[in-house]
Amino acid sequence: MYGLSRDDCERLDREDPLGTLRGRFELPSGLIYLDGNSLGALPVGARQRLDELVRVQWGEDLIRSWNRHDWIGMPRRIGAKIARLIGARDDEVIAADSTSINLFKLLAAALRLRPRRRIIVSERTNFPTDLYIIEGLIELLGQGHELRLVHADELSDALDEKVAVLVMTQVDYRSGRLHDLAALTRQAQAKGVLTLWDLSHSAGAMPIELNAAGVDMAVGCGYKYLNGGPGAPAYLFIARRHLRDAQPTIAGWMGHAAPFTFAPDYRPAAGIERHLVGTPPVLGLAALEVGVDLLLEADLQLVREKSRRLGDLYLRLLDQECAAFGFEHACPHDSTRRGSQVAVRHPQGYAIIQALIVEGVIGDFRAPDILRFGLAPLYLRYVDIWDAVAALHRVMASQAWNKPEFKRKATVT
Ligand SMILES: *Cc1c(COP(=O)(O)O)cnc(C)c1O
């Protein structure tokens, strides 16, 4: 059997139809960045856009910019662009708030659409904020709602006529497991269960077809694969058929039918705008728009294909180069069931990640023993995967991880 070589990876880069997009990002030299699933890289255009915005729009035009530069239209305009990434219509998505807050808003709206049902189903391994938000809302409502947490393979059995909403994250943040969004949505709908999908770890890394799947509601994050910058605004989706009946949870003035009449009574806007709360975060939205525009230039089928190949390459090289060091795959082998990351398990995972960072490879660690490597197809090269696995080999062969400063600090509980 022939092993893969670095030359093979360079050849894959020469043939990569997305290869030119890398130049549109500012990436520090000497660094291999495998954490784009936590914080996406900086688009060159974002620096220029923010500079212009600060100097001219804020600095000179000041409050006139709400109209002159359409600051007021940003949540809808950027929402409409995100809609094209997730298979939605432009009046179904709006950019606002954080993922956590949008989840709270939409879950509350969804529960009001199913007033006679009391169960919310989710996955036990779901991202913590999603679970906390559900629990917190249940407590606030005080109507006897109940969170039913199950394992992935028990989901279909957990859906029955008592369930109001299924809250799912499409790609698991730890294992990278990709759920079949269409199949689960269909199963939920057969029981009259509304679906609320969290796309934080999937949107921007693969095509998503919310409307083709019949999804009711969705939320997602702006700072991961959308490359919107640290703490970027998130987005929310509500299918057109629910727009009239989905009530706003937090009745803020930006969701009012006519905010600038300053009327004392609340009247919700007609469409998706009613789910806005307060003044839009203009700087964050501007940076997010640059990230989204970049993604709209790429063919998402190609993005997905490259993401799968990068993951396959990582796992294959890990087996080829690091077989002696006791790593176990913690993500699905089948790339059609995997998001845009790989996860491997090692008892010394924390120390290994610290030693890799010293070697110029940034991945991250998730307790208890998972090393996670995000594979952002817009700016990663195949040769980066080669170099990242070579660095891992160096760290393991030299035992560079085995230093006191890489020991996990005991946490005080
Ligand atoms: C990243 C992520 C979030 C982040 O929520 P914030 O409100 O932006 O902190 C939420 N859910 C999932 C599944 C995520 O991956």
In a domain, 336, yes or no: yes
In a domain, 57, yes or no: no
In a domain, 322, yes or no: yes
Q: To 10 degrees, what angle do helices 382-397 and 300-321 make?
A: 30
382: domain range? 6-44+299-407
In a domain, 142, yes or no: yes
User: Do residues 90 and 128 both lie within one domain?
Assistant: yes
User: Do residues 397 and 330 both lie within one domain?
Assistant: yes
pLDDT number for residue 411:
60
Q: Secondary structure of the chain in the HEC alphabet? A: CCCCCHHHHHHHHHCCCCHHHHHHEECCCCCEECCCCCCCCEEHHHHHHHHHHHHHHHCCCHHHHHHHCCHHHHHHHHHHHHHHHCCCCCCCEEEECCHHHHHHHHHHHHHHHCCCCCEEEEECCCCHHHHHHHHHHHHHHCCCCEEEEECHHHHHHHCCCCEEEEEEECECCCCCEECCHHHHHHHHHHCCCEEEEECCCCECCECCCHHHHCCCEEEECCCCCCCCCCCCCEEEEECHHHCCCCCCCCCCHHHECCHHHCCCCCCECCCHHHHCCCCCCHHHHHHHHHHHHHHHHCCHHHHHHHHHHHHHHHHHHHHHHCHHHCCEECCCCCHHHECCEEEEECCCHHHHHHHHHHCCEECEEECCCEEEEECCCCCCCHHHHHHHHHHHHHHHHCCCCCCHHHCCCCCCC
131, 221, 288, 340: which to mutate for ligand 1, most atoms within 8 A of CB?
221
Cis peptide before 368 (omega within 30 of 0): yes
Q: Is 261 annotated as a binding residue?
A: no
Residue ending a domain, choose from 250, 276, 297:
297
Task: Please say if 132 is a catalytic residue.
Answer: no
Q: For residue 223, give the CATH number of its domain.
A: 3.40.640.10
User: Do residues 114 and 172 both lie within one domain?
Assistant: yes
Task: Please say if 372 is a catalytic residue.
Answer: yes
d(CA 52, CA 286): 10
pLDDT number for residue 340:
98
User: Do residues 292 and 310 both lie within one domain?
Assistant: no
Q: Is 173 annotated as a binding residue?
A: no
Relative to beta strand 341-345, strand 370-374 is antiparallel
Residue ending a domain, choose from 297, 315, 344:
297
**Tally of structural domains, the chain:** 2
Q: Is 126 in the pocket of ligand 1 (CB under 6 A)?
A: no
Distance 105 CA to ligand 1 centre (A): 14
Distance 344 CA to ligand 1 centre (A): 22
In a domain, 172, yes or no: yes
pLDDT in tens, the chain (413 residues): 478 999 999 999 999 999 999 999 999 999 999 999 999 999 999 999 999 999 999 999 999 999 999 999 999 999 999 999 999 999 999 999 999 999 999 999 999 999 999 999 999 999 999 999 999 999 999 999 999 999 999 999 999 999 999 999 999 999 999 999 999 999 999 999 999 999 999 999 999 999 999 999 999 999 999 999 999 999 999 999 999 999 999 999 999 999 999 999 999 999 999 999 999 999 999 999 999 999 999 999 999 999 999 999 999 999 999 999 999 999 999 999 999 999 999 999 999 999 999 999 999 999 999 999 999 999 999 999 999 999 999 999 999 999 999 988 766 54
Contact 289, 74 (CB under 8 A): yes
Q: Is 129 in the pocket of ligand 1 (CB under 6 A)?
A: yes
Task: Please say if 223 is a catalytic residue.
Answer: yes
Q: Whose CA is nearest to atom 2 of ligand 1?
A: 200
pLDDT number for residue 323:
96
User: Do residues 227 and 259 both lie within one domain?
Assistant: yes
In a domain, 130, yes or no: yes
For the question of whether the overall pTM of this predicted structure is more than 0.85, the answer is yes
Q: For residue 313, give the CATH number of its domain.
A: 3.90.1150.10
Q: Is 169 in the pocket of ligand 1 (CB under 6 A)?
A: yes
Residue ending a domain, choose from 268, 297, 326:
297
